[in-house]
Structure 1
Amino acid sequence: MTYSTLLFDLDGTLTDPFIGITRSIQYALDKMGASRIPEAADLRWCIGPPLWESFGVLLESEDKAVQDRAVALYRERYTTEGLFENTIIDGIERLVADLDASGRRMFVATSKPHAYAARIIEHFGLTPHFGKVYGSELDGTRSAKADLIAYILEEENIAATDCVMVGDRKHDLIGAKANKVAALGVTWGYGSRAELEAEHPEAIFDRPQELEAWVATS
């Protein structure tokens, strides 16, 4: 099967946002008066899912108003400091450049608000390789990967059978499956191999070079 279009998750797939995200979560929890503020290492699981979902667990609250307040506080720090406490994953620059040169269409598909994601992609010089950066709205609309991928397919007039989603968490693979889009898992991010295998992706890769080789021969 030849896939003419690739959708890439951002956090954990193209870049490593660990410092910026975890520090901003800790900041929000502190401002919210949380009884316990986890160490950064204990917040790894928060990288990937929508923020509302993570704060719901961290604050043990299903109250949307509480979650909204936590997200607003998170962004208070993230937009001024956390956004660029981030590093590009080794091998990604070559991967996207080579895929672009091969004629593949590529789009970023992230639960992060597109306004922030576009700045990160630009910061790392990747903008020329992507047709567009798609993400959620600030109010959380399309933060679920299934909704976001459906939106991209419609907006770009992409056939699901021509498209593959690349991501490091189960949310990426589940979202792809919901839209009948093929999915590829990568282990250099924040999901374990077991988490990815449970969603039965087309393949799982440990290095960007392996992903490039697979796309070239698929």
Structure 2
Amino acid sequence: MKAVLFDLDGTLIDSSEGITKSVRYALDYFEMEEPDEQVLRTFIGPPLIDSFEKIYGFPREKARKAVEKYRERYNAIGIFECSLYPGVRETLRKLKEQEYRIGMASSKPEISCRRILAHFDILKYFDDVVGATMDGKINSKEEVLAEVFRRWNELSADEMCLIGDTMFDVNGANAYKIPCIAVSFGFGDVEEMTAAGAVLCNHFSEIPELVHKLS
């Protein structure tokens, strides 16, 4: 094992406040309300445009407009309505000391990922940050991972692992046969993720040992 890839939302940070408030802001534009907080939390993880289409039946252009309104609030306010999970800094530092290459593989726009990592002063631990593109050309977890392989073309799938918190991460990792660690404190279904082959992590401090065991 030479490289460790991290998802962002629900894995490194609890981003629920900023995301759900920004979804409400987008819905307000269409004079819609969503009283169910759990429905709003389903926006954490998958591409936004897909969620607006799936949950509310928006046609593609309306979904694009919803994403535009979402980002209007999120990029100004919501992006920093989040907090690091316990043990993140210490674990990243330890992995770096153990000479692992550290990367990010997130369906959040790459520019937003970098802003958040810089805000919490942990960008310095990352060798590269790969995220979605604003034009939608890179959007899904599989597309993000394809870009990881393009940039890190000297590494094979069994030389890296992906750490995430939802089935989007697990399915993406499985598609490329990348070992996957699923954190239990994020937004995904633990039983579903472990049934799909992910190794369970209950606290961030467990990650270095779990990565070592996957080697």
TM-score, length-scaled by structure 1: 0.93
Instruction: Tell me the distance in 2 between the aligned counterparts of 1:39 and 1:151.
Output: 35
Structure 2 residue 31 is matched with structure 1 residue 33: yes
Match of 1:213 in 2: 209
- Give deviations 1:129-153, integer Å, cap 9, x for gaps: 1011110001222221111111111
Match of 2:163 in 1: 166
- Give deviations 1:75-97, integer Å, cap 9, x for gaps: 01001100000100111111111
- Give deviations 1:17-59, integer Å, cap 9, x for gaps: 010000000000111222x323434322221111011111332
Aligned letter for 1:30? D
Instruction: Tell me the distance in 2 between the aligned counterparts of 1:11 and 1:28.
Output: 19
Percent of aligned pairs sharing the same letter: 34
Q: Which residue of the other structure, out of 175, 188, 191, is the alignment partner of 2:188?
A: 191
Match of 2:112 in 1: 116
Aligned letter for 2:51? S
Structure 2 residue 197 is matched with structure 1 residue 200: yes
37-46 or 63-72: bigger deviation: 37-46
Structure 2 residue 145 is matched with structure 1 residue 145: no
Match of 2:44 in 1: 47
Instruction: Tell me the distance in 1 between the aligned counterparts of 2:39 and 2:62.
Output: 21
Match of 1:58 in 2: 55
Contact 2:161–2:211, Cα closer than 8 Å, also in 1:
no
Aligned letter for 1:173? V
Aligned letter for 2:85? I
Q: Which residue of the other structure, out of 113, 123, 129, is the alignment partner of 2:125?
A: 129
> SS of 1:106's equivalent?
strand
Structure 2 residue 11 is matched with structure 1 residue 13: yes
> SS of 2:93's equivalent?
helix
Aligned letter for 1:138? M
Contact 1:30–1:37, Cα closer than 8 Å, also in 2:
no
Contact 1:91–1:209, Cα closer than 8 Å, also in 2:
yes
Query: How far 1:213 moved relative to its partner?
Result: 1.8
Aligned letter for 2:113? A
Q: Which residue of the other structure, out of 86, 92, 109, is the alignment partner of 2:82?
A: 86
Contact 1:26–1:38, Cα closer than 8 Å, also in 2:
no
Give unpaired runs (5+ residues) of structure 1: none
> SS of 2:161's equivalent?
strand
Aligned letter for 2:86? D
> SS of 1:46's equivalent?
coil
Contact 1:23–1:40, Cα closer than 8 Å, also in 2:
no
Contact 1:5–1:164, Cα closer than 8 Å, also in 2:
yes
162-171 or 152-161: bigger deviation: 152-161
Query: In 2 relative to 1, CA 142–38 (structure 1 residues): closer, same or farther, beyond 3 Å?
Result: farther
Instruction: Tell me the distance in 1 between the aligned counterparts of 2:210 and 2:195.
Output: 20
